[in-house]
Amino acid sequence: MHIEVTVNGRLRSADVEARTLLAYLLRDEFNLTGTHVGCDTTSCGACTVIWDGLPVKSCTVLAGQVDGGAITTVEGLEQDAQLHPLQQGFWDNHGLQCGFCTPGMLMTTYALLQRRPHPTETEIRQAISGNLCRCTGYQNIVAAVQQAAARLSAQDAMEEVQA
């Protein structure tokens, strides 16, 4: 089937089989290999992307389902060669070691901050409960998200003052 989907703000098209998974559409057709595949069974969260505003595990979504929709992947977080505050937070707080889970962690917490700009530590931990990390023990990931939330909040306040 032929599909069209907006990926990181750019309209893309592809011919896919009915069984093609979104994770493989992104990685194999669009060469967006930042989306990782860890388990292929909806367990690890490494493949998480944003689909029409909501985080989804792209190993569990068919490519045909996103026809006409909008996807944001980890490659879409950086803007104008500036890391997103979440990416900077992971950098500053050593929120990763091997980095395999990191794209999924970033996209899950990106969605969290969209709907909860000031999450509690409990809310952050609940949000990432579907994302597995074998390296960090999660503490630094939580700290990274807390830093990003504070920076985004400060940016919003600054923009309001300048408006």
Give the residues lining the site for ligand FES (CB under 6 A): 37-40, 42-47, 57, 59, 96-102, 133-136
CB neighbours of 153 closer than 8 A, spacing ≥ 6? 117, 118
Least distance from ligand FES to the Cβ atom of residue 100, Å: 4
Q: Taking the complex as a whole, how short is the minimal distance between the CB of residue 140 and ligand FES, in angstroms?
A: 9
**Toward ligand FES, which CB reaches closer, 125 or 153?**
125
Instruction: Tell me the chain's radius of gyration from C-alpha atoms.
Output: 16
- Smallest gap from Cβ 91 to ligand FES, in A, equals 13
Alpha carbon 41 to its chain's center: 18
Number of H helices, E strands in the chain: 5, 5
9 phi-psi bin (left φ>0, alpha ψ -120 to 50, beta other): left
Helix (H) / strand (E) containing 72: strand 70-72
Tokens of 50: 């944003």
Minimum CB distance to ligand FES, residue 80 (Å): 27
Residue 71, classified by CB atoms within 10 Å of its CB into exposed (0-12), middle (13-18) or buried (19+), is buried
**In this complex, which beta carbon is closest to ligand FES, that of residue 7 or of residue 59?**
59
Minimal distance in Å, beta carbon 103 to ligand FES?
10
Q: Quick one: 98 or 158, whose CB is closer to ligand FES?
A: 98
**Which CB, 5 or 101, lies closer to ligand FES?**
101
Of the two residues 94 and 116, which places its CB atom closer to ligand FES in the complex? Answer: 94
